[in-house]
Amino acid sequence: MNGNIPDQGEWESCTATGARISTLLLGLETTFREKLEWLEDAETLSLKFDANRARAIAEGRLAPPAPANISNRDIQDKKLR
């Protein structure tokens, strides 16, 4: 994939508008195949994060996530008691 960001000047790409323009220009310069490869790489990375999180929970290195029906307020109330 073409990882080069178009030269937008010294500080121009550090603004919200400049960053948006840089992203759009990069999107115009990449091929459909390169975009698909990027998406596949992002999916692979996401799946690795999930697997690592599951392994860390199974090994006790990470606390399991709170159930979805428990709010942060409920958790804070239990800590205060």
pLDDT one-digit tens code per residue, 14-42: 888 888 988 898 889 999 999 999 999 99
The dihedral region occupied by 45, where left means phi > 0, alpha psi between -120 and 50, and beta the remainder, is: alpha
Q: State the chain's mean pLDDT as an integer.
A: 82
pLDDT of residue 6: 55
pLDDT of residue 37: 96
Q: What percent of the chain has pLDDT over 70?
A: 69
- Take residue 59 and report the two structure tokens written for it: 């090994």
